[in-house]
Structure 1
Amino acid sequence: MPATRPAPPDLELKKAPTQARAVETYERILAACAELLGEVGIERLSTNLVCQRAGISPPALYQYFPNKYAILHELGTRLMQVQNELLTPWAVPATFQLPETDFAASVADLFLKTLALTEHMPAGVWVTRALRAVPSLQSVRNLSHDQVTDMLLLPFMSAHPSADPARAKLTIRLAIDALYAAQELLFDDPSLDAEAVASTMSEMVAAQLCRLRG
């Protein structure tokens, strides 16, 4: 008889903090988890360790989070949101109308800015790894990439209305995942030249998107 798969962990926030003291406790939990994640890794991280670091009791933590994965889910969601905010001034029709060389340079610049932002976020690199390594957290990344795809498709189609929207959407989504994977590679192998990776990846992305301009 095949073994049954364990149920995925509950990622739902139990309640949102409203009063100032509750918000302060909530933020201390997130900060403690981020600190510990970089120190002990995903597997050794526990809610007990988070409570000890935050200086709170387990019941205080469990008011908001059912387990460590729910805390990581919140950290991952915040990281994705901050990363995506970099796209807002970039994701305009004028960007997608740039000559291929200039467009590639703008993608490379955005890639390096996102890389630097992630490295400077508290446990940003470790949160990125958690979103890849923990199956229940992968939806955070997938949802964010879906949202970014839609965000970029609109200005692309505005700049190039004769392009095939389905092909453009697929190409944009693949480009997002490829660029994200390249950033993860840089986190895993710091010996690689970040600027060389950014240049190579951006040229690949630019070539594919420019072919769709029509």
Structure 2
Amino acid sequence: MTRVKSIPAADSGALPPDLELKKAPTQPRAVETYERILGACAELLGEVGIERLSTNLICQRAGISPPALYQYFPNKYAILHELGTRLMQVQNELLAPWAVPATMRLPEAEFARSVAELFLGTLALTEQMPAGVWVTRALRAVPSLQHVRNGSHDFVTDMLLAPFMEAHPQADRAQARLSFRLAIDALYAAQELLFDDPSLDPQAVARTMAEMVTAQLMRLRGPA
């Protein structure tokens, strides 16, 4: 099993790192350099891990000088921040077609199947993204990046809550929001467990998690 330790917010441990881009690339050559930095960082994450990753290693892999990197990113955490933001956005795009009132009205068995399929689709998408598994770990392990994950989960909660309440206006809105927020965190935790323990059956994990989430939401719906 791969263990990921929580690491300090900054290399010095004194202040949280600056995550803001210094500037966004506009010219084609600048965009190419910017993407090479992100690609190099993604490659190295899987090879050396979060703690050993450094801007010097990224520059060497990308074939650029440190000043070229520092035009855009102040440190390695800002690069990880951009990778994490992109991963969350792609995952959310996968979710959007599912988050509609028609889905929320599905019978219990069909709804559970759809949740399991969505879980497996998100799992596959994350594994296919450059360093998707390691970026997921970084969003959990690095304190200064956890707001990316939490912000995305809050966004998804509201994305799911709106169609659910449209489909079931009699449901307790506050309880529904809490249930969705907890379900999202639980599903991501299950996804990370699969990354850490390849002996587990993804289909079985997806089915079990889907049944758990569905049972809670069916109670919120009330009598059919």
Question: Shorter-chain TM-score: what band?
Answer: over 0.9
Q: Are positions 1:147 and 2:160 aligned together?
A: no
* In structure 2, distance between residues paired with 1:149 and 1:14: 31
Q: Are positions 1:90 and 2:98 aligned together?
A: yes
2:134 counterpart residue number: 126
* In structure 1, distance between residues paired with 2:93 and 2:157: 14
Aligned residues: 210
2:74 counterpart residue number: 66
SS state of the match for residue 160, structure 2?
helix
* In structure 1, distance between residues paired with 2:218 and 2:70: 50
Paired residue for 1:14, among 19, 22, 26? 22
Please tell me the residue identity of whatever aligns with 2:144.
Answer: S
1:174 counterpart residue number: 182
Paired residue for 2:52, among 44, 51, 55? 44
* In structure 2, distance between residues paired with 1:66 and 1:11: 7
Q: Are positions 1:162 and 2:151 aligned together?
A: no
Q: Are positions 1:25 and 2:29 aligned together?
A: no
Q: Are positions 1:103 and 2:93 aligned together?
A: no
* In structure 2, distance between residues paired with 1:95 and 1:130: 32
* In structure 2, distance between residues paired with 1:210 and 1:84: 23
* In structure 1, distance between residues paired with 2:46 and 2:122: 19
Please report the TM-score for the alignment, with normalisation by the length of structure 1.
Answer: 0.97
SS state of the match for residue 221, structure 2?
coil
2:193 counterpart residue number: 185
Please tell me the residue identity of whatever aligns with 1:104.
Answer: A
Please report the TM-score for the alignment, with normalisation by the length of structure 2.
Answer: 0.93
* In structure 2, distance between residues paired with 1:115 and 1:50: 27
> Can you give the 5+ residue segments of structure 2 that lack an aligned partner in the other structure?
1-12
Please tell me the residue identity of whatever aligns with 1:199.
Answer: R
* In structure 1, distance between residues paired with 2:197 and 2:14: 33
Q: Are positions 1:135 and 2:161 aligned together?
A: no
Deviations 1:15-72 (A, max 9, x none): 1111111101000000000000000000110000000000100000000000000000
* In structure 2, distance between residues paired with 1:143 and 1:122: 22
> Can you give the 5+ residue segments of structure 1 that lack an aligned partner in the other structure?
none
**Deviation of the 1:196 alpha carbon:** 0.2
Q: Are positions 1:204 and 2:212 aligned together?
A: yes
**Deviation of the 1:9 alpha carbon:** 0.8
Please tell me the residue identity of whatever aligns with 1:45.
Answer: L
**Deviation of the 1:6 alpha carbon:** 1.7
Taking only the aligned residue pairs, the percentage that are identical comes to: 85
SS state of the match for residue 150, structure 1?
helix
